[in-house]
Amino acid sequence: MDKSFIEKLYPSTKFIFILLVILIAILSKNYLVNYSFYIMYFVLALMAKKSKEFNGIILKVILPLIIIINLMQLFFYPGNEVLFSLGPIAAKKEGLEYGLLLTSRLVAVGSSFIWFFRVTKIKDIVVAMENRGLGKKGSYVVLSTLQMIEDLKKQSQVIMDAQKTRGIEVEGGLIHRIKAFVPTLGPLIMSSIANTEEKAITLESRGLSMKVVRSRIYKLNKTKFDSTIQIILIVGMILVIGEKIWSF
């Protein structure tokens, strides 16, 4: 399957881009600007044919946090201008505005990292870091760390499927799922330890600790277009920081 234009960009180009967006989001006090970054990332994810995965994580992870934070700030943030009351507690305009600003930054930062890891393969990130001089051991640490959550997710699903075959009910409401998940923690931890040992043996059998020059089948090269975009983005970051300092 051919990569999209977004996926073909060098990992550091996309990373500098999200750093610029995060910088703007942190310094900006306009929550509409920060929320608009979600729309931008959705369009970019759509161009990379990753919009479904991108939106799925946003809805599962970011949206519940937005609702909780906004409600907490709306009713408990100190302020004088009351919008409406629910019994002994009152919703204040100051809390609404602060909650929107806080969650807009969360949306901008969260969308940045979710988009980056959806449109950038882990092996591309590792190869790019190796191109910058990261050693093989360091590459393995980064790779294993990035893959840890995905590996644990797959392993937990295997254990849950095994429990289903034994007649154990693992589906239902939230409380029932939590009760069903607790017994999987033991096998999950033990299997993770066993997998770590197997990986260590595999790496040693491939001569990871040997100090020799290695060839690489998978190569990733930075283009002139990537270099140009990176320069523009870095200049943009300098201008944003300079404008903020000047405004003081």
Dump pLDDT digits (tens) for 11-68: 999 999 999 999 999 998 899 999 999 999 999 999 988 989 899 999 988 999 999 9
Report whether pLDDT(221) > 70.
yes
Exposed e or buried b per residue across 159-190, where buried means at least 16 C-beta atoms within 10 angstroms of its C-beta: bbeebeeeeeebeeeeeeeeebeeebeeebee
Dump pLDDT digits (tens) for 162-201: 767 766 665 666 666 666 666 666 776 777 666 666 666 6
- Better-scored residue on pLDDT, 237 or 142: 237
DSSP 8-state secondary structure symbol assigned to residue 58: I
Alpha carbon distance 59, 41 (integer Å) = 14
pLDDT at 179: 65
Alpha-carbon torsion (107, 110, 113, 114), positive or negative: negative
pLDDT at 26: 92
pLDDT at 41: 95
Report whether pLDDT(1) > 60.
no
Q: Measuring CA to CA, which residue among 49, 50, 53, 86 is closest to residue 71?
A: 86
pLDDT at 42: 95
Report whether pLDDT(236) > 90.
yes
Half-sphere exposure of residue 168, counting CA atoms within 13 Å on the CB side?
16
pLDDT at 68: 93
- Better-scored residue on pLDDT, 6 or 141: 6
Looking at 102-106, 207-211, 224-228, which range is the least confident one?
A: 207-211
Note the residue count of the chain.
Answer: 248
SS3 90: strand
pLDDT at 46: 92
Which parts of 113-220 are beta strand (E)?
none
Dump pLDDT digits (tens) for 101-142: 999 999 999 999 999 999 998 888 888 888 877 766 666 666
pLDDT-above-90 percentage for the chain: 37
Report whether pLDDT(87) > 60.
yes
